[in-house]
Structure formats: structure tokens, C-alpha cells
């Protein structure tokens, strides 16, 4: 039972902690409350899990909100902020985060071409930057169990659109296994087990 030597984690065709960045967009109270495609509690638990996975594997994270500074909206939900720690948030006025200079600069500053993305809503704040990032040569991986739309049909139609544009859909379970890849990487196994195997409700899509 001998694993091949680890492939170059930067050029690996699969996702690795070294070639990925996590993008989190608009996990704010108003957006959460307007989701109609899945259970709100499950949505929060799932995106928190996504964030914790990124922290476990030291994946850089770009966090963005909309209309906090203008006073029209509240900041990132507390559960997610707690999981993220002191990561700064980039506030914007544009629905499409890719049309915000500071956001795009933050993404480019990660130096990563594989963007794992979770955003609310699926039909807007996930779809628009995904299509723009793909057009600029990025590979985009929406975490489908950590995103939601205003209705089931809006969510599913948006996922079809981004997939047709070239996005590669993923889930928390797949993401965890892809970043972990080998049980011989023992330093991250405890958190992998705790997050994925020990918290089944985190990956429950619910009604």
C-alpha cells in the first residue's frame, strides 16, 4: 500500500490547498432571509463548513459584502464571521462583485487561478462574478450545497448557466476530499473527520 509521491500542488489538475482560493460573497442577514431554495439553518451550517475547510487547509479567503457602509444592509452573519476570524471584508455597491475594483484586486492578489466560490444569491452574486472570472481565465468551482437562490428554479437555472459557461460544480464533501487527498497528510485528518464525518447536518440540503 504505497501512494505515489504527491503531485505538484500548484499545477495539479485537481484542487489543492496550494492552487485554490475561497471566495465568499454576501452572506448577510437580508440575503439569508430571502433564500427560498433550501433551509436557512442548513445553508448557514454549510457555508460555515466551507469556511472552516478553507481555514483547515490554509486556503486564502476573499470575503465581500454589499451595502454595509451605505447603511442599507448588515454585515456578514455572526456564525460565518466567527469561523473566518479576522479576515477583512470588502464592501461594495455593485451586485456583480467582479465590477468592484478592490474585490478583483483581492482575488488577483491570492495568486490562485482556481476559485472556489459561495455566494448569495445563486442567480446573481454567484452567477455574475463566476462568468466574468471564467472569461478572464480563472477556473471556478461553485459549492452547490453552500449557496441558495430566491427559489428552487432560480437556483437550479443559475447553476445550469454557470456550468454551461464552464464552471465546475462541487460540494463540501467533494471539496474536503480533494483538498485532503491522502490520509498520510495526518495534520489535517482530525479537522477533516470533525467537519465532514462528525457533522452530517452541515451537508444536509434540507427543505
What does the domain layout of the chain look like in residue ranges?
20-203
The number of residues making up the chain comes to 207
Checking if the pLDDT of 201 tops 50, the result is no
pLDDT of residue 196: 86
pLDDT of residue 202: 41
Tens digit of each residue's pLDDT (9 = 90 or more) over 35-82: 999 999 999 999 999 999 999 999 999 999 999 999 999 999 999 999
156: left (phi over 0), alpha (psi -120 to 50) or beta: alpha
Find the catalytic residue in 42, 125, 133, 146.
125
Q: Answer for the pair 184, 3: CB distance below 8 angstroms, yes or no.
A: yes
Checking if the pLDDT of 200 tops 60, the result is no
Split at pLDDT 50, 70, 90, the class of 144 is very high
pLDDT of residue 199: 57
CATH for the stretch 20-203: 3.40.50.850
Q: Answer for the pair 165, 139: CB distance below 8 angstroms, yes or no.
A: no
Rounded to an integer, the average pLDDT of 164-169 is: 98
DSSP string of 87-133? --EEEES-SSGGG-HHHHHHHHHTT-SEEEEEEB-IIIIIHHHHHHH
Comparing 3 with 158, the larger pLDDT belongs to 158
pLDDT of residue 197: 79
Find all residues with CB under 8 Å of 76, minimum gap 6, and list them.
27, 28, 63, 65, 84, 89
Rounded to an integer, the average pLDDT of 172-183 is: 97
pLDDT of residue 2: 85
Q: What is the percentage of the chain residues whose pLDDT exceeds 90?
A: 93
Rounded to an integer, the average pLDDT of 177-190 is: 96
Per DSSP bridges, beta strands 89-92 and 114-119 are unpaired
Q: Which of 101-110, 120-129, 154-163, 198-207 has the lowest mean pLDDT?
A: 198-207
Distance of CA 159 to the CA centre of its chain: 14
The overall average pLDDT reported for the chain is 94
Active site residue 125: yes
Checking if the pLDDT of 13 tops 60, the result is yes
Amino acid at each position: 500500500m504505497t501512494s505515489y509521491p504527491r503531485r505538484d500542488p500548484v499545477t495539479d489538475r485537481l484542487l489543492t490547498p496550494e492552487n485554490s482560493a475561497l471566495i465568499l460573497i454576501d452572506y448577510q442577514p437580508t440575503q439569508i432571509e430571502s433564500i427560498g431554495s433550501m433551509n436557512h439553518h442548513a445553508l448557514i451550517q454549510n457555508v460555515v463548513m466551507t469556511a472552516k475547510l478553507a481555514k483547515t487547509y490554509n486556503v486564502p479567503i476573499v470575503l465581500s459584502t454589499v451595502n454595509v457602509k451605505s447603511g442599507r444592509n448588515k454585515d456578514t452573519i455572526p456564525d460565518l464571521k466567527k469561523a473566518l476570524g479576522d479576515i477583512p471584508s470588502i464592501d461594495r455597491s455593485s451586485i456583480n462583485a467582479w465590477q468592484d475594483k478592490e474585490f478583483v484586486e483581492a482575488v488577483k492578489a491570492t495568486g490562485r487561478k482556481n476559485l472556489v466560490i459561495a455566494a448569495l444569491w445563486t442567480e446573481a452574486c454567484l452567477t455574475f462574478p463566476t462568468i466574468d472570472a471564467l472569461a478572464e481565465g480563472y477556473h471556478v468551482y461553485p459549492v452547490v450545497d453552500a449557496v441558495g437562490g430566491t427559489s428552487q428554479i432560480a437556483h437550479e437555472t443559475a447553476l445550469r448557466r454557470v456550468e454551461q459557461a464552464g464552471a465546475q460544480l462541487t460540494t463540501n464533501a467533494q471539496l474536503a476530499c480533494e483538498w485532503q487527498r491522502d490520509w498520510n497528510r495526518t495534520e489535517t485528518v482530525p479537522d477533516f473527520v470533525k467537519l465532514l464525518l462528525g457533522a452530517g447536518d452541515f451537508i444536509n440540503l434540507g427543505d
